[in-house]
Amino acid sequence: MTTTLITGANKGIGYETARRLVAAGHTVYVGARDAERGRRAAERLGARFVLLDVTDDATVEAAAKTIEADGGLDVLINNAGIETRGEGNAVPTAETVTADQMRNTFETNVFGVVRVLHAFVPLLRRSAAPVVVNVSSGLASLAHLSDPDHPAHFYPGIAYPTSKTAVNMLTVQYAKAFPAMRINAVEPGFTKTDLNGNTGVQTVEEGAEIIVRMAQVAADGPTGGYFDVNGRLPW
């Protein structure tokens, strides 16, 4: 039985990923910072709930102890993330973004990933086939955002894409450090979720596809890569 933890799994793409992996036979832990919402989601899914706020050391460490006591972990999906939005669902631009907004975004999207990996890598190393999926974004691609012919070029935000580019670098460095693990970053696509004020054009079912696929990657599969549903993406 494969045991999987998904952070930020009580709604959106995380919830749909949990649903799909439960259906595939995984024992899934729904990680959520809101206990009531997390428990309700886990009950609906036939999953297990674990209190986990990626910005809080104590809940992350407690979650690791809980999952370790229950038998360990095989797959970690770092899904929890935020995007700062202002009035009218506008993103802070180079003209308006503040250091505090950057810091707040990085606390969840970058430091949260490191915090969770630090706590759970020891468990993953005991697995026969450990996998990590870091949910990144197409907006993390320096190649695409610097290409005036690519749609991503026109995204004006600063904090979110910068944080996700950092997630890509974390993916590369952790994959090199732990070659026995399959550690990859994925781009779900512009999906309609609360993160973007429900302005996305994809369904959560479409957005979860690449996450579910990479969560089930074989032991001889790729590692240290950056993927969407169509294959590898340029950094």
Q: Is 164 a catalytic site residue?
A: yes
Q: Is 176 a catalytic site residue?
A: no
> Is 162 in contact with 110 (CB distance < 8 Å)?
no
Neighbouring CB atoms inside 10 A of 96's CB total 12
Which stretches of 52-190 are assigned E, i.e. beta strand? 75-78, 131-135, 182-186
The one catalytic residue among 15, 29, 160, 174: 160
Q: What is the DSSP letter of 152?
A: G
Rounded Cα distance between 51 and 118, Å, is: 17
How much of the chain is in helix, strand and coil states, percent to nearest 5? 45, 15, 40
The one catalytic residue among 15, 29, 164, 192: 164
Neighbouring CB atoms inside 10 A of 180's CB total 12
Rounded Cα distance between 104 and 224, Å, is: 26
User: Among all residues, which ones are annotated catalytic?
Assistant: 160, 164
